[in-house]
Amino acid sequence: MSYSFHVRVEAVREFSAVAIWYDKQRKGLGHRFLDELQRCFTFIRSNPYGYQLRKGDFRHAALDDFPYRVVFKVKGNQVFVYQVRHTNRKPSKRFGP
């Protein structure tokens, strides 16, 4: 099955700010973060139901080299990314830990 992939504006703002922060820490690190995020998006899109439900209908996919995870929901043949969050952030009432 082919899934359409939608990233909410709030999630784009979050991961863009993270990439800028990483690049300020070390040149090129922000690009590495975005590459890893894109790789994670590709895995999610290819098998969105392969990730465990965490809270309600929300699923979480962890990035390999960075302490972040992607919070998303699957509705039919569509995947919606709601958040890219640091793993040490306070748990969200809406999205879970």
Rounded distance between C-alpha atoms, residue 14 and residue 81, angstroms: 12
The CATH number, out of the four listed (3.30.365.10, 3.40.50.2300, 3.30.2310.20, 1.20.1050.10), of the domain defined by the range 4-86: 3.30.2310.20
Q: How far is CA 60 from CA 19, 41, 92, in A?
A: 20, 11, 12
pTM above 0.85, yes or no: yes
Comparing CA positions, the residue from 52, 57, 56 lying closest to residue 69 is 52
Q: Where are the domains of the chain?
A: 4-86
The three-state secondary structure class of 10 is helix
Cα atoms in the 13 Å half-sphere on the side-chain side of 50: 11
pLDDT tens digits, 4-17: 999 999 999 999 99
pLDDT tens digits, 20-57: 999 999 999 999 999 999 999 999 999 999 998 988 89
